[in-house]
A and B are shown apart, each in its own frame.
Chain A
Amino acid sequence: MFKNYLKIAWRNLKKNKGYTVINVGGLALGMAVTLIIGLWVEDELTYNDYFSNHDHIAQVYQSQTFNGNVSTGQAIPRPLEMELREKYGDNFEHLIMSSWNISRYLGYKEKSLSKNGNYMQRPAPEMLDLKIIKGEKDGLREINSVMLSASSAQALFGDEDPIGKSVEVNNQYDVAVSAVYEDIPANNSFSDLDFIMPWDKLLATQEWMRNAVDSWGNNSFQMFVQIDENVTMEGVTKAILNSKQEANENSVLFDAKIFLLPMNDWYLRSNFENGKQYGGRIKYVWLFSIIGAFVLLLACINFMNLSTARSEKRAKEVGIRKSIGSQRGQLIYQFLSESFLVVLFAFFVAIVIVFFGLNGFNELASKKIEFPWSNGLFWLISALFILTTALLAGSYPALYLSSFRPVDVLKGTFKAGKYAGLPRKILVVIQFTVSVAFIIGTVIVMQQINHAKNRPVGYDKEGLVQIPTMSQDFAGKYDLMRAEFLKSNAVVEMSASSSPTTQIWSNRSGFIWDGKPEGFQEDLAWTEVTPEYVKSLNMKIIAGRDFSREFASDSSAVLLNETAVKYLGIEDPVGKFLRDDNDEDPNPPLKIIGVVQDMITQSPYEPVKQGVYVFANDDSSYYNLRLNPEQSASQNIAIIEGVFKEHFPDLPFQYDFIDDEYGEKFASEERIGTLAGIFTALAILISCLGLFGLTSFVAEQRTKEIGVRKVLGASTFNVWNMLSKDFLKLVTISCFIAIPVSYYVMNGWLQDYPYRVILEWWIFVLAVVGALAITILTVSYQAIKAANANPVTSLRTE
Chain B
Amino acid sequence: MLVQLDGIFKWVQQGGQQIFLLKDINLEVEEGEFISIMGPSGSGKSTLLNVMGMLDTFDEGTYNFLDEPVHNLKEKHRANLYKQYIGFVFQAYHLIDELTVYENLEMPLLYKKIPSSERKAIVADMLDRFNIVGKKDLFPGQLSGGQQQLVGVARALVGKPKLILADEPTGNLNSKQGEEIMELFKKLNEEGVTIIQVTHSEKNAAYGSRTINLLDGRMV
Q: Do A and B come from one complex?
A: yes
Chain A interfacial positions (CB closer than 8 Å to B): 1, 4, 7-8, 11-12, 15, 316-317, 319-328, 330, 406-407, 410-412
**In contact, B55 and A325 (Cβ under 8 angstroms):** no
Q: How far apart sit A11 and B99, CA to CA, in the bound complex (Å)?
A: 8
Contact partner, B98, options A11, A324, A328, Cβ 8 Å: A11
A412: chain B residues within 8 A (beta carbon)? 92
Asked if B208 is an interface residue, CB under 8 A from chain A, the answer is: no
Q: How far apart sit A328 and B76, CA to CA, in the bound complex (Å)?
A: 9
Binary A-proximity of B81-97 (CB < 8 A = 1, otherwise 0) = 01100001010101111
Asked if B169 is an interface residue, CB under 8 A from chain A, the answer is: no
**In contact, B107 and A324 (Cβ under 8 angstroms):** yes
- Which bucket holds chain B's interface residue count? 20 to 34
Q: How far apart sit A7 and B102, CA to CA, in the bound complex (Å)?
A: 13
**In contact, A4 and B75 (Cβ under 8 angstroms):** no
A319: chain B residues within 8 A (beta carbon)? 94
Minimum Cβ distance to chain B for residue A136 (Å): 69
A1: chain B residues within 8 A (beta carbon)? 110
B90: chain A residues within 8 A (beta carbon)? 410
A330: chain B residues within 8 A (beta carbon)? 111
Q: How far apart sit A443 and B106, CA to CA, in the bound complex (Å)?
A: 58
Minimum Cβ distance to chain B for residue A315 (Å): 11
B55: chain A residues within 8 A (beta carbon)? 322-323, 406-407, 410
> Residue on A with the closest CB to B158?
A324
Asked if B79 is an interface residue, CB under 8 A from chain A, the answer is: yes
**In contact, B79 and A327 (Cβ under 8 angstroms):** yes
A11: chain B residues within 8 A (beta carbon)? 98-99
**In contact, B110 and A4 (Cβ under 8 angstroms):** yes
- Can you offer 21 A-B residue contacts whose CB atoms are under 8 A? A1-B110, A4-B106, A4-B107, A4-B110, A7-B99, A8-B99, A12-B98, A317-B98, A320-B94, A320-B95, A321-B96, A321-B111, A324-B88, A325-B112, A326-B79, A327-B75, A327-B79, A406-B55, A410-B55, A410-B94, A412-B92
A328: chain B residues within 8 A (beta carbon)? 75
> Residue on B with the closest CB to A328?
B75
Q: How far apart sit A317 and B107, CA to CA, in the bound complex (Å)?
A: 12
Minimum Cβ distance to chain B for residue A287 (Å): 44
Binary A-proximity of B155-197 (CB < 8 A = 1, otherwise 0) = 1000100000000000000000000000000000000000000
Q: Which chain B residues numbered 87 to 127 have a C-beta less than 8 Å away from chain A?
A: 88, 90, 92, 94-99, 103, 106-108, 110-112
**Given A4-B107, A407-B55, A410-B90, A325 and B79 touching (CB < 8 A)?**
yes
Q: How far apart sit A1 and B109, CA to CA, in the bound complex (Å)?
A: 10
> Residue on A with the closest CB to B84?
A325
Asked if B53 is an interface residue, CB under 8 A from chain A, the answer is: yes
**In contact, B46 and A411 (Cβ under 8 angstroms):** yes
> Residue on B with the closest CB to A330?
B111
**In contact, B96 and A407 (Cβ under 8 angstroms):** no
Contact partner, A325, options B95, B97, B111, Cβ 8 Å: B111
Asked if B68 is an interface residue, CB under 8 A from chain A, the answer is: no
**In contact, B111 and A320 (Cβ under 8 angstroms):** no
**Given A4-B103, A15-B98, A410-B94, A324 and B108 touching (CB < 8 A)?**
yes
**In contact, B111 and A317 (Cβ under 8 angstroms):** no
**In contact, B96 and A317 (Cβ under 8 angstroms):** yes
Q: How far apart sit A316 and B95, CA to CA, in the bound complex (Å)?
A: 9
**In contact, A323 and B110 (Cβ under 8 angstroms):** no
Asked if B59 is an interface residue, CB under 8 A from chain A, the answer is: no
Extra 16 A-B pairs, beta carbons < 8 Å, given A4-B107, A320-B94:
A4-B103, A11-B99, A15-B98, A317-B96, A320-B96, A321-B96, A321-B107, A324-B107, A324-B111, A325-B83, A325-B111, A327-B79, A328-B75, A406-B55, A410-B94, A412-B92
> Residue on B with the closest CB to A12?
B98
> Residue on A with the closest CB to B88?
A323
Residue among A322, A323, A324 with max Cβ neighbours from chain B (10 Å): A324
Residue among A320, A321, A325 with max Cβ neighbours from chain B (10 Å): A325
Asked if B50 is an interface residue, CB under 8 A from chain A, the answer is: yes
